[in-house]
Structure 1
Amino acid sequence: MAKTPPDADSASEEPAGPGKNRPTPTRAEQEAARKRPLVADTAEARKRARAELNAQREKARVGMAAGEERYLPVRDKGPQRRFVRDFVDAGWHLGELVMPLMILVIVFSLVPNQAVTFYAFLALWVCIFFVIGDMIITSARVKRAARTRFGEDRVEKGLGWYAAMRTVQMRFMRLPKPQVRRGEHPA
C-alpha cells in the first residue's frame, strides 16, 4: 500500500458529502438563535399599530359624544342616566352662565375703580347662590321624575347629583353631547 502525501491527506479530511461541517452549537447559542420578539419591531409595524389605535380612539370618541351606550364610561351608562341627561339638556340653567360671568369679573377686576371690582364680585357671588338654588331644584325635579318613570324602588342612587353637575357645564362642553333640543323634555 502506498502512502498518500500529507497535503493530499488534509484535502481528504473535509467530507465532501452531506454533513454539518461545523462544530455543534452550545445550548446558550441555540437559545439565543430561537429568541424572537413577540411583536415585530419594525417601523412599519409600529406605524400600523399606532394607526389602528388612533382609529379605535377616534371611533370611541365619536361614539361617546353621540351617546352610544358601549362607549360611555360607567357613570354615564344606563337608561336612567340617559333620562337625566335628556331632562337636564332640555332646559335652561343658570350654571351655564358661571364661566362667562367669571371671565367678565376678571375683566372688571382690571379696572382701577374699586367700586366696579366690588360690584363685579358681588354679582358673581349672587349668581353662584342662584346657581346652587337651581342645582337643588333641578336635583329634586329629576328625582321626582325618575321615581315616576322608573318606579319608587328602582331609582338609582346619585341621579340628583348627576343632574346637578350637568347643569353647571356649558351646553356645548357636555359629554355625552346633548341628544335633545331645549324644550324637548323626555316623556
Structure 2
Amino acid sequence: MLVNSSQPSKAYTPKKGHATPKRNAAQRKEGSFEARFTPAESYSEARKKRKELKASMSKEEWKQYKADAKAAQKARRQAAQRGMDEGDPRYLLERDKGPERAFVRDLVDSGRYLNTMVMPFALILLILLTIATRYPTVSPILSLTSMVIMLIFFIEAVILGRKAHRLVKEKFPNTTERGTSIGFYAFGRASQPRRWRTPKPRVKVGDQVA
C-alpha cells in the first residue's frame, strides 16, 4: 500500500510564522491588563533611562522628577479605573468585554437577589461557627440552618444563570457565548454588593432591560 508523502502526519504542527513574543513584550501589548498600568518600555529600559536622567539632573530636579512621575502614574491608574467603572471597552477586563456581557450586567443590576448577601453571610457564618465550638448543642442547629441558606443561594443562582442565558440567546441569536459562561458571569455579578461592582451599574433596580 502506497502512502502519500505529500500529506502531513497527524502529529505535524504547522509553524506560526512568527517568533513567540517575550513575556514583557506580551504584557506591554495594547489591550492587555498590564498595558493599562505600566509604561511602554521594559523594566531594564526604564531603569537605564532613570539612571541617565538622574545623572543629568541636580538633586532638587531629580526629586521633582520623581514626584511628577509618581503623580502621572497615579493619574493613569485613576483614568484606567474610571474607564473600567464607566464600561469603556479600552479598559475592560476580558471577562467583561462584549455586548452580551454588558446586557447580563444590566440584567443583574436591574434586579434584587439574595445572592448579594453571599459574602456578608459567609463572614457571619464564620463568626457563628467559631462561637458554636464552645456550645456543642447549638452547632447542629447552626449547621442545618447554614445548609438551608446555602441551598437557597444555589437555587437562585441556577435560576438566574438559566434566565440570563435564555435572554442572551433571544437578544443575540448568533452569540458564541456558552450557557455556563453566561450563568457564572451573572452569578458572579449578583453575588457582589451593588456598590462594589465593576463596571458600575448603569441601570436602576426595577428598570426593564430584557
- 1:154 and 1:108 map into 2 onto residues whose CA distance is 45
Residue in structure 2 matched with residue 147 of structure 1 by the alignment: 169
Taking structure 1 as reference, are residues 103 and 154 closer, same or farther at Cα in structure 2, changes over 3 Å only?
Answer: closer
TM-score, with structure 2 as normaliser: 0.64
Residue in structure 2 matched with residue 76 of structure 1 by the alignment: 96
Residue in structure 2 matched with residue 60 of structure 1 by the alignment: 80
- 1:79 and 1:114 map into 2 onto residues whose CA distance is 52
Q: Is the 8 A contact 1:102 1:124 kept in 2?
A: no
Residue in structure 1 matched with residue 115 of structure 2 by the alignment: 95
Q: Does 1:86 align with 2:109?
A: no
Residue in structure 2 matched with residue 38 of structure 1 by the alignment: 49
Higher relative contact order (CA 8 A, sep 6+): 1
**Cα RMSD for the two superposed structures:** 1.9
- 1:120 and 1:170 map into 2 onto residues whose CA distance is 25
Q: Which has the higher helix share?
A: 1
Unaligned ranges ≥5, structure 2: 1-47, 55-61
Taking structure 1 as reference, are residues 80 and 160 closer, same or farther at Cα in structure 2, changes over 3 Å only?
Answer: same
Structure with higher Rg: it is 1
Residue in structure 1 matched with residue 193 of structure 2 by the alignment: 170
What is the count of residue pairs matched by the alignment?
Answer: 150
Q: Is the 8 A contact 2:96 2:102 kept in 1?
A: yes
Q: CA shift at 1:181, angstroms?
A: 1.4
- 1:120 and 1:103 map into 2 onto residues whose CA distance is 14
Task: Report sequence identity in percent.
Answer: 32
Q: Is the 8 A contact 1:98 1:127 kept in 2?
A: no
TM-score, with structure 1 as normaliser: 0.71
Q: 1:134 aligns with which of 136, 156, 164?
A: 156
Q: Is the 8 A contact 1:63 1:71 kept in 2?
A: yes
